[in-house]
Amino acid sequence: MESFRDLLPGEFVKRMQSELGRQETLRILWPVMVGARLGCNTRLKEVRHSTLVVSVPDRTWKKTLSSMEGMILDAVRRFSGEESWQAIEFVEDPLLAVPRQDIRPQRPDSARSLPPVDLPVEAISDAELREMFLRSARKYFARQEVPSR
């Protein structure tokens, strides 16, 4: 599987760095480097020498991500092509504590929460097969009707 950086034009990141600066380039590309879920709940606040200062919503995030510091640094190093990153400093930012929207639609929990489907299923004589078909149709149409949050 190719990394996102490999999919970019060869000089794209270098040009961004020359026009925006290293810190702003890393800030913009932060969600790509660390992944959508982590990037949605954290922010690259600044770069101090060889330390990345990352804002997190609360103490729990700070504690959890501290144990993942090495993995995050590896991801940033791979993407940026720089080995200069030595540490991450996590700082709490209560403004990030606002609940974020999930980036993926949620699946219905059970058949009871699925919408009714009005399809001509009388032609399916096998009751078990008919019920399986209706359950699949409900799931399919439930995904189509995911409410916007």
Q: What is the pLDDT of residues 20-73, one digit of tens each?
A: 888 898 898 898 888 888 888 899 999 999 999 999 999 999 999 999 999 999
pLDDT score recorded for residue 1:
46
Nearest-angstrom CA–CA distance, 122 and 70: 59
pLDDT score recorded for residue 82:
79
pLDDT score recorded for residue 88:
95
pLDDT score recorded for residue 89:
96
Query: Is the predicted pLDDT of residue 8 greater than 80, yes or no?
Result: no
pLDDT tens-place string over residues 84-134: 889 999 999 988 766 555 555 555 555 455 556 666 777 778 888 878 888
Q: Are 56 and 92 in contact (CB under 8 A)?
A: yes
**CA torsion through residues 34, 36, 42, 43, sign:** positive
Nearest-angstrom CA–CA distance, 149 and 140: 20
